[in-house]
A and B are shown apart, each in its own frame.
Chain A
Amino acid sequence: MEKTLINLTINNIPVSVQKGSTILDAAHKINMHIPTLCYHPDLKVAGNCRVCVVEVAGTKELITACSTAVTEGMIVTTNSYKVRTARKTIVELLLSEHNADCTKCYRNGNCELQWLASEYRIGDHVYHDLVKEEEKQPDSTSLCIIKDDSKCVRCQRCVRTCSDLQDVGTFSVINKGKKQKVSTFYGKPLKDVFCIDCGQCTSRCPTAALTEKPLYEEVWDALADTGKHVVIATTPAVRVAIGEELGFEYNKHSDSKIIAALRLLGFDSVVDSGYFHDIYIVELCTEFMLKMKQDNENAAKTILPYITSCSPGWVEFVSTKCPEIKPLLSQCKSPRLIFGSLIKTYYADKKALNPKDIITVSVTPCTAAKNESTQSMTGIADVDFSITTRELVRMIRQSGIDIQRLDAEDYEPLMCEHSGASVLTEVSGGTTEAVIRTLSELVTGNELDPKMLKIMPLRSEHGIKETVLTFSEVRTGWEFLKDQEIRFAAVNGSRHAMDFFKQLKENQKHYHFAEVMICQGGCIGGGGQPIPVSAELIKARASILYSLDEICGQQKAHENARLNAIYREFLTKTELKENQKILYY
């Protein structure tokens, strides 16, 4: 790490920053605002939009603050006449290329171009309108993401997000000059190209060129239908992030106030998503143990590692990029789908409701979850509507609720408890930790060493995180695991998935269990989370989840007392085949 300090002045204010810093970094240090558009803290610097141009003494042309490294004695001016007119011109130009129909826009009020326009521009359009008629028809073929080229400002954040951050590469720049645009492969509709629907582009697009496909209007319709019983579950990652947009800081009372808000919105029943996460962990663990047993019995061909499939989009990623490992994926349904299928079976049964009259709404940080549709044993969809954190925020805003002022309420008693482990499943490495907690007790029959409640290697920000487990004591039937190394891996973001796959393919590494999250940081960094996003925010959300785990009375999924009831009364009683349909694909 270079420690040399560079001295410069910005608008006559002296500032010292580390060598290698940009002018933009230096300006941040002294709270001098330089507007940006194509710049994003998570992405490689592009220098395309030219909005951040500044004047540097000794240079004829203006230079971009985002891409230029500071030099000793540099004299920077960020608000000269030359800078201001250039910036204003650039904003005017961008608006001429943009379908600036703001009042109708999905991102109205949360659009970076709109903010720039309000800062730099008053008056009518100066230039000719360049928006092409054919671009005004958005591509809404995908179930998760809408692409509206008429709103695109060519900042290429989506291109960089998709290629560099996610290693997917759905978008690239095509043509040059006036025909230049961001396109899918051969301009095909989104549904026909390789896209894992992670939505990371939608949370980094400065405008509404890429957005999630909203379903909240449909949810409103369901709420208004008195014949429908609408059940909602929100995941912890949603609850810890919701305040970022609604303007409050998450604390231990927030959950119960959010429950009250959901009831105010008109939901008939609010259930604890953690309850389903716990079932998921128990099932995942069971399937994993069976796989290990099968693997042991069949020495000829390994069926490990056992790879999680709960991150929607991961299955799509595997199908296209590394189909060889598809047979290794877990068959266990994701917690969202378990929620849906249990509501329409067990819950319907208990409440004496016709499953056809129940609408299940799942709120997750995930845009890809919108794509996940399977059928429960009743022949109807498990989850009717999957909405993102941002859409829920919109619903709360529309109803004028101030969450902070609400009185605390509790979850529906039938499905109300969760373990600390369930909370962890939404942070990268957390599912692995949760599985280790349950697995250890199931295999050894002894209580878990409290030290194992915090596995630090799994909490790092690395791309591929690893840990090894060995059991010196085992229960009957599991002798083959005695003193054997069980190796776990957690892949943090699809960017590292191919490295992981390469390791598997070249037999460099042998794992027993692997968790893959397609979004950096796990669900907390999902593409449906509040805008803006940054690595720092994701870190903050993760630390809240870790503390929620610690304050939870029971930290292991199988300790959730409510699970006993459902397993005893329902899951073990239903025919095995039907049980499979409820919890497995």
Chain B
Amino acid sequence: MDAGLKGRGNVGFPTGMKWKFAKREESAEKYVICNANESETGTFKDREILERVPRKVLSGMAICGYCTGAKKGIIYLRYEYAYLKEQLQNELNIFHEHIKKFNLDFAIEIFLGGGSYVSGEESALIESMEGKRAEPRNKPPYPVISGLYGLPTVVNNVETFATAQVICAIGAEEFLKLGTVYSPGSKLFSISGDTIKPGIHELELGTTIEEVVNEFGDKNTKSVQVGGASGFCIPHRLFAETVIGYEGLTTGGSMIFFNNTRSMYKVLHEYLRFFAEESCGLCTPCRIGTQQLLLGIEAIKRGDRPAGYMDVLKKLALNMKTSAKCGLGQSVANPFISILENFKEEILY
């Protein structure tokens, strides 16, 4: 709570508050779920965490269990990460032995996901664990009140649990030395694209894009997509003023660099194609909206629709943001509008 840790997924909900809500619920059974359905484009930090420092994550989950009163933990592992299962299971065996010493009643199991992007949305993740289609639920109630099988459930990102463990180890004061008032601490970033140093790097929150580009860019960086397909595209002219953090750009850690040789039309097209495939199809704005945005930019490119059709599409994207059922449909507007506004010519011609 004192450390002011915010979720290390894409949303950035204050972790302490989430745990407090779950603690407040009176229930004999509660769940702690580690969201390892890492499917955002350009992010691979959770995989590395689970591979290299799984104990941090497991301890973080146990700490959460201790705080909220949950006795069961589940790791929702993305289907594509199935190869990690055996290694994780070995770690779990050691962990379960170890935890006995603390007299803590907390057991963790692994659940293998089905491979859909929307399962990363916490309520869709829970639906999928219950054996149903991975589709988001109506909220409220939020999972902390009524989650898995209707029981209070905390769902956090892999990195969030790992960071929680770190905070407990070094103390909130030490954690707060890094970052800003709104975005305390440091965070892992998955750096990819046209960069000289691809990989996972830990950065202090509050850093500007410019600093990041100077460090990682290939000198020709045109734009940086922060937060994956559902994030924002930052053009060169905004590098200096854009701060990474909850006061600026909230991100799950994906940073994709595009240099001068890249067509932003193709980038946007690829993102929209991704969304039209990965929307669960449940709600109207997301199911149809994603298809219309994709067909729309194709039609403009071909010249079948006038340039003014961009405004229709922009309005559609904004309406999707306000009326879609979950984060997926709501965030399509982020890349769409940021790319459209900053690279209008590339979309048109």
- Partner-B contacts on A (CB < 8 A): 45, 47-51, 53, 60-62, 64, 67-69, 82, 85-86, 89-90, 93-94, 96-97, 126-128, 130, 153-154, 173, 175-180
Contacts and interface: CB of A to CB of B under 8 A. Distances in A.
Contact of A69 (B140, B275, B323): B140
A85 B287 contact: no
Nearest to B135: A173
Contact of A128 (B287, B296, B324): B296
B285 A89 contact: yes
Contacts of B330: 61
Contact of A85 (B284, B288, B289, B315): B315
Interface of B: 116, 118, 133, 138, 140, 275-285, 287-292, 295-296, 299, 312, 315-316, 319-325, 330
A94 B286 CA distance: 11
Contacts of B285: 50, 86, 89-90, 93
A48 B324 CA distance: 9
Contacts of A175: 281
Given A53-B322, A86-B322, A128-B295, 10 more contacts: A47-B325, A48-B282, A60-B322, A86-B319, A86-B323, A89-B320, A93-B292, A130-B295, A175-B281, A178-B276
A85 B319 contact: yes
Contact of A62 (B287, B290, B322): B322
A68 B319 contact: no
A51 B319 CA distance: 12
A68 B284 contact: no
A178 B277 contact: yes
A89 B319 contact: yes
B284 to A, nearest CB: 5
Nearest to A66: B138
9 contacts: A45-B138, A50-B323, A61-B330, A64-B325, A89-B285, A93-B285, A97-B288, A130-B291, A177-B281
Nearest to A93: B288
Instruction: Among B138, B140, B295, find the residue whose CB has the most chain A CB atoms closer than 10 A.
Output: B138
A49 B283 contact: yes
Contact of A94 (B140, B284, B290): B284
B323 A53 contact: yes
A180 B287 CA distance: 8
A50 to B, nearest CB: 5
A51 to B, nearest CB: 8
A90 B281 contact: no
Contacts of B279: 176-178, 180
A343 B288 CA distance: 54
B140 A68 contact: yes
Given A62-B322, A176-B278, A94 B288 contact: yes
Given A68-B138, A90-B284, A128-B299, A177 B133 contact: no
A378 B167 CA distance: 88
Contacts of B277: 176-178
A389 B295 CA distance: 43
B323 A67 contact: no
A96 B292 contact: yes
Nearest to A128: B295
A49 B295 contact: no
Contacts of B275: 177
B284 A49 contact: yes
A67 B280 CA distance: 19
A179 B277 CA distance: 8
Contacts of B284: 48-51, 90, 93-94, 153-154
A180 B278 CA distance: 10
A154 B287 CA distance: 10
A102 B280 CA distance: 28
A89 B280 contact: no
Contacts of A130: 288, 291-292, 295
Contacts of A51: 284
Chain A to chain B: the 3 pairs with minimum beta-carbon distance, closest first:
A180-B281, A67-B138, A93-B288
B322 A64 contact: no
Contacts of A86: 285, 319, 322-323
A495 to B, nearest CB: 19
A175 B279 CA distance: 10
Given A61-B322, A61-B323, A177-B277, A128 B292 contact: yes
A153 B278 CA distance: 19
Nearest to A173: B133
Scoring B116, B279, B283 by chain A CB atoms within 10 A of each residue's CB, the highest score goes to B283
A331 B230 CA distance: 62
Contacts of A153: 284
A61 B330 CA distance: 9
A67 to B, nearest CB: 4
Contacts of B283: 47-50
Nearest to A94: B284
Contacts of A127: 288, 292, 295-296, 316
Nearest to A85: B319
A177 B140 contact: no
Nearest to B277: A177
Contacts of B133: 173
A82 B319 CA distance: 8
Nearest to A98: B288
Most buried by A among B116, B118, B276, B291: B291
Contacts of A61: 321-324, 330
A50 B177 CA distance: 44
B281 A173 contact: yes
B295 to A, nearest CB: 4
Contacts of B323: 50, 53, 61-62, 86, 89-90
B312 to A, nearest CB: 6
Nearest to A87: B323
A347 to B, nearest CB: 54
A528 to B, nearest CB: 29
A47 B138 CA distance: 7
B256 to A, nearest CB: 22
A61 to B, nearest CB: 5
A178 B287 contact: yes
Contacts of A96: 288, 292
Contacts of A89: 285, 289, 315-316, 319-320, 323
B147 to A, nearest CB: 17
Most buried by A among B283, B288, B289, B325: B288
